[in-house]
Structures are given as C-alpha cells and as structure tokens.
Amino acid sequence: MYGLVKKFIRVCCIHLHYRDFAILSWLPPPTYPDNDPLTVKISTLGIDVNNLHHVSVLPLNSIQPSRVLVEIDRRHDCLFVMRMEGLDTLPPIE
C-alpha cells in the first residue's frame, strides 16, 4: 500500500524522550500492469489525492517511508509511481 504523508509530528515527553508520528492518507491499492515491481500504477478513481479522507496517524517506525517519483496521468485517472530505492513485493500470480 502507498500513502501520502500529510505531516510528520514529534511529540516531546518529559526527560527529553520523544516519539515520531506520520499523518498520512492511504491511496487505493496499486496494480502492476507489466507484472514488474518497477511499474506501479495506482488508479485514483476520480479522487483528488490532496483531499483524501482516509487519514491515519501511525508511529514513524511502523511504516517504511521512501522517496518516490510520481507521474500524474489525468487522462487515465491514475498515478504511476517509481521508488527511488527498493522494490515492491509483487502479489502472487493467480
């Protein structure tokens, strides 16, 4: 699953302890049109990705943040995503 991070938050507690969180909106599940982990397509289904309502607050160490390149294809109502490092794990072919 891919999510769009809206904000990073650090909560400071007594004795200089702190916890880091990310506020993010989940994007619809990706597909792999070429059955290749480098070609990731996310259909936006007419949703404005900047105004997604499915918002979560998660501890930063429970997600795998990575930089990605995103091509917005408004004609086909989807996003094409490429990770800057690492690969997606493809679901098994049925």
Do 55 and 24 touch, CB atoms closer than 8 A?
A: yes
**Angle, CA 83 vertex, CA 46 and CA 6 arms, to 5°:** 55
In this predicted model, what pLDDT tens digit does every residue of 34-72 receive, in sequence order? 887 778 899 987 777 777 777 889 888 888 777 888 888
Cα–Cα distance, 40 to 34 (Å, whole number): 9
Cα–Cα distance, 40 to 27 (Å, whole number): 12
- Stated as kind and residue range, the H or E segment containing 57 is strand 55-59
In this predicted model, what pLDDT tens digit does every residue of 14-27 receive, in sequence order? 777 788 898 888 88
